Chain A
Amino acid sequence: MTRFEGSASYVAPPELSLAVNAAITLARPLLVKGEPGTGKTQLAQEVARALGAPLFEWHVKSTSKAQHGLYEYDAVSRLRDSQLGDARVHDIANYIVPGMLWRAFESEERAVLLIDEIDKADIEFPNDLLRELDRMEFYVYETQKLVRARHRPVVFITSNNEKELPDAFLRRCFFHYIRFPDAETMERIVAVHHPGLKKALLAEALGAFYRIREMPGLKKKPSTSELLDWIKLLVAEDIPPEALRSDDAKTAIPPLYGALLKNEQDVHLFEQLVFMNRRAGRPG
């Protein structure tokens, strides 16, 4: 059996690989939580690539129903077809549209299934998937057919904590909380994404990034993915490391900070703090 140890483009701390491997071995869904932008969704993509398995992504929205993942019966187009006299109308199977779960079940080899942001959906949503995830089978009432997984897919479920998930559902999952990476792990993550980055620029960028994260009162703290975007911009604009540094670390506004701060109150607060620090720092 292949073990997941992170990949060339994804840094997985040992405890994360352990949780992933436990979930794969025991064929249980792995519930992944963590701050936005810590790579929850990406984890499934990377595991699929590492295992060489096809990936099925089911992005949950506030209007999603559990049924959407299984199949949908397109009654409206059948009704239309019947009015237009289409021959297809006699077979109901023509109007059953398989969902992501069905497609993952039907896969010829073991698939990876991602149920992304499960907390966006209605509060009953996870409960409606209990049997399907437990037994990996479901019943299509319209065609009287039982759909059963050929190989139990590896299931990843991500949540942003917007809603509480029901206990019965949690009991069936393994759980991993991705902590915000420390500076050392962050360096490895950046190195994976921007291999040619000069050491000096990296050190300065990380320093500025953690200073901004530590600022009190920010509505939304910048996350790993925002740091990576920002570094991409810095590299594209060819900003020298010196521009990120000044005599007093607190008075410098990092260039292109719009990539890190995503709402006007935060930008405003940030500018105010820098302005106050400058005035306080001025001699006389």
Chain B
Amino acid sequence: MLIRFFLMLRAAGVPASITEFLALLQSLAAGIIEPAEGLTAADQFYYLARSILVKDERHFDRFDRAFAAHFRGAELAFEALLAEVPADWLRQSLALHLTDEEKARIESLGGWDALMAALRERLEEQKARHEGGHKWIGTGGTSPFGTHGYNPEGIRIGGGGGNRRAIKLWERREYANLDDDAGLGRRNVKLALRRLRRFARQGAADMLDLDGTIDSTARRAGLLDIRMIPERHNAVKVLLFLDIGGSMDEHVRICEELFAAARGEFKHLEHFYFHNFVYESVWKDNRRRHSERTPLPQLMRTYGRDYRLVIVGDATMSPFEILQPGGSIEHWNEEAGAAWIKRLLASYPHHAWLNPEPPDRWEFTPSIRITRELVEERMFPLTLEGLDRAMRSLQ
């Protein structure tokens, strides 16, 4: 029965190996679990299995879910409940095909402020799940509210965001921190990042300076005089801004690869997260993004102009979010995102924007066009070739 548990762990994404599994069986045979104060045998088995099979506290959560699923028969709970809107309103169940006429009709519904006011009213009116139709909030309909529906200025409430144009996100989702052990292709990414190297000798002198030793020994008439020098290290400093959540979810893998490679390559790497666009503050840890944020002015004071700024994001959003004060989908921003990004770019003359969206879509997404103008055309696709060009432009 433990074999099934082991396979389930692997399926849940805990990278446990056969040797570790055998070690667990071995430890059970050795009788490490014995009645003790404070812990039942089941608790002891849980802790024992965890300390043998899981080697990273980031995977504790996955382990717990698989453990619960196997031993208590509980359901795998993956979806968090939405805070404000019941989840079953938002289940995607209708595929929607609209004619151009219908699309035009929806466009005419009104501007930003009207949308917000109407949503608030309807949220109060509505009491039950609704699908299709034109007015109520639900899934797949043509009303401007709800998920997966078609309306260019739609407001997204929870769910996956099929058409990726939401203006206000009403859910409080917690995004997982980027996992930096994605393996595939990392080597190639590292090789591309290598273009951005600036070697300097710093730190402890632990390498033999052969030329210096010969020279100085000769000067001292053959009496040995060893000379040491510090090893060469990459001294370039990088500030990495990562877009997280929302439309970035489908690019998570490539971003993890980039992040993992950058972590290994640059000694001076500081990373921050933002959601959709950069506003007055960013954060370091997605689990504490509501309580621990770093204001941009403080960030610009802390990290000097010699840092190279790399922003990773798909820049795919409603143009409101960039140009309008209060456009942020998560909070009320006093100043527009565009103002903040200008300040940021002014503080870091060496900058590049990496976009995981394919470049042929850039022309057709207004927010990408705007962002490209803001970053002075220094936007590169997140491909090896684009990365290469980005690194050259950062030199």
Contact = CB atoms under 8 A, between A and B. Distances in A.
B55 A28 contact: no
Interface stretch (A51-59, A75-83, A187-195, A237-245): A75-83
A96 to B, nearest CB: 19
Contacts of A202: none
Contacts of A18: 32, 36, 39, 44, 47-48, 51
Given A63-B206, A175-B54, A79 B224 contact: yes
Interface string A14-51: 11001101100110101101000000000000000000
Nearest to A76: B226
A80 B224 contact: yes
Interface stretch (B20-28, B68-76, B321-329): B20-28
Do most interface residues of chain B lie in helix, strand or loop, or is the interface mixed? Answer: mixed
Interface in B1-60: 15, 17, 19-20, 23, 26-27, 30, 32, 36-39, 43-44, 47-48, 51-52, 54-57, 60
B257 to A, nearest CB: 14
By size class, the interface of chain B is 35 or more
A21 B32 contact: yes
A28 B27 CA distance: 11
A19 B43 CA distance: 12
A177 B60 contact: yes
A78 B2 CA distance: 58
A26 B264 contact: no
A120 B354 CA distance: 31
Contacts of A173: 55
B42 to A, nearest CB: 13
Given A22-B27, A62-B203, A123-B264, A31 B55 contact: yes
Contacts of B17: 171
B51 A174 contact: yes
B39 to A, nearest CB: 5
Interface string A148-186: 000000000000000011010011111111000000000
B102 interface: no
Contacts of A123: 264
A255 interface: no
Contacts of A174: 23, 51-52
B98 interface: no
B204 A63 contact: yes
B335 interface: no
Interface of B: 15, 17, 19-20, 23, 26-27, 30, 32, 36-39, 43-44, 47-48, 51-52, 54-57, 60, 180-181, 203-204, 206, 223-224, 226, 263-264, 291-293
Given A15-B43, A22-B48, A176-B51, 13 more contacts: A14-B36, A14-B37, A18-B39, A19-B47, A19-B51, A79-B224, A170-B55, A171-B55, A174-B51, A175-B51, A175-B52, A175-B55, A216-B292
Nearest 6 pairs of A and B residues by beta carbon: A170-B55, A15-B47, A177-B57, A19-B51, A216-B291, A14-B39
Interface of A: 14-15, 18-19, 21-22, 25-26, 28, 30-31, 33, 62-63, 76, 79-80, 83, 123, 164-165, 167, 170-177, 216-217
